[in-house]
Amino acid sequence: MKFIYFFIVIDILLTSITYIYYRQNFAFAKTWSFFFVYLALAVNAVGSRLLPETAPLFILKASSWLSGLWIAFMYYSLMLALLHTLLWLGSNILSFSLPNFEIACAGLLLVVSLVAWGTFRAFNPVVRTEEIVTSKLPPNSSYKIVLVSDIHLGRILGNDYAKDLVKKINAQNPDLVLMAGDILDEKISYVVEQDSLSQLAKLNTKLGVYAAYGNHDYLDKPLVWQGMLEANNIKVLRDASIIVDSKLKISGLNDFSRNRSNVTLEKLASGNEDYYSILIDHQPRKIEPASAAGYDLYVAGHTHTGQLFPNRLITKKMYKLDYGRKEFGKMTAITSNGYGFWGPPVRTELAPELVVITVKAL
């Protein structure tokens, strides 16, 4: 409930500031109809999170869509209001005339365009490719790995979304698939009602599908969720390792929100020297300890590169590698910005992605 109270305060603050801004600059915003529509959208932003799971799915979806788009619209409207206010203050200090109405019109057009473009971008992922050469594999051998993180199956992202994801992954003809957490968004019931996991069971690989838990995967009956994933051919590695074949070992960590220690990471490193060793970690917070423990490949997600521009300025400061690929000693680290989204169905930072990694012998 603390999150709900915090969200209510933020919603009231953003709604008030942006409503005052639009009312000051547009005649249509002075009408009662505009006020009531604005108020209804603001109330829905909070109310969407309070709707019972038993509500009809179409209502839950519609409410979530409106809430998410409203949050993105508010976010950029606040930026517009702040920027315009600074320009207005500057014009008063320097004594020059400012075309306030024209600036407000251009700003509103930009806000709407950003939200519309970001919505399109959120549902049009790209494929990023990486190639790693290693001396730990026998001559002429290789693995084709698809890394996917932050799928966020839930109210908005359901069966059709999962079906499209599986189609894209299978088109890569992978040897194995790695899922770096946040397969679930919030409630298992939404996934069950839309039968979304049955699509993931159709992933075609030679060596299997392996997943670590993200922070969202703990939000609703994590043991039940694990059983459901494994019933759909996804092997969950929660502070555990598995020997895939004579050359490959995969380890997965519980999310940083549940285990901040490096002790488990170091224990799972036993035998790393005998295999090409991969570590799946949802949040890219243990890259350097993983390198020191002798892992060969570290994969993570979680960051979404901030999801909404310009939030990557923050994620770059928060993580050693918020996106992309970097070598840490003898270990390669790859962080994906995720396939899905959280909250607003909008991505104005880097496009969502699948990462196709080819690991081949030197």
* Beta strands per DSSP E along the chain: 126-134, 142-148, 176-180, 209-212, 234-236, 240-243, 248-252, 276-280, 297-300, 324-328, 331-335, 353-361
Helix/strand/coil percent split, the chain, to 5: 45, 20, 35
Assigned CATH topology for domain 126-361 = Purple Acid Phosphatase; chain A, domain 2 (3.60.21)
pLDDT at 3: 76
pLDDT at 291: 98
Tokens 């995720």 belong to residue = 338
Average pLDDT rounded to a whole number, residues 152-169 = 97
Q: How confident is the model at residue 5 (pLDDT cuts 50, 70, 90)?
A: confident
Question: Would the pLDDT of 357 be above 90?
Answer: yes
Q: How confident is the model at residue 6 (pLDDT cuts 50, 70, 90)?
A: confident
Q: How confident is the model at residue 158 (pLDDT cuts 50, 70, 90)?
A: very high
Quick count: other Cβ atoms within 10 Å of Cβ 78?
16
57-69 as b/e, with b when 16 or more CB fall inside 10 Å? eeebbebbbbbbb
Do residues 100 and 330 make contact, with C-beta atoms less than 8 angstroms apart?
Answer: no
CA 153 remoteness from chain centre: 11
pLDDT at 7: 83
How far, in Å, CA of 128 to CA of 205, rounded? 19
| 331: its two tokens | 């270990």
Question: Would the pLDDT of 1 be above 80?
Answer: no
How far, in Å, CA of 218 to CA of 227, rounded? 13
pLDDT at 121: 97
pLDDT at 154: 96
Q: For the segment 81-119, what is each residue's pLDDT rounded down to a tens digit?
A: 999 999 999 999 998 889 999 999 999 999 999 999 999
pLDDT, mean over the chain = 96
Q: How confident is the model at residue 277 (pLDDT cuts 50, 70, 90)?
A: very high
| 186: its two tokens | 């919030």
Q: What is the biggest distance separating any 2 CA atoms in the chain, rounded to whole angstroms?
A: 75
**CA separation (Å) from 12 to 41, 60, 100?**
11, 22, 25
Q: Which residues pair with 236 in a beta bridge?
A: 211
Average pLDDT rounded to a whole number, residues 310-321 = 97
Q: For the segment 163-189, what is each residue's pLDDT rounded down to a tens digit?
A: 999 999 999 999 999 999 999 999 999
Q: Which residues pair with 161 in a beta bridge?
A: none
How far, in Å, CA of 255 to CA of 250, rounded? 16
Identify the helix (H) or strand (E) that includes residue 11: helix 2-25
- Domain boundaries for CATH 3.60.21.10 within the chain: 126-361
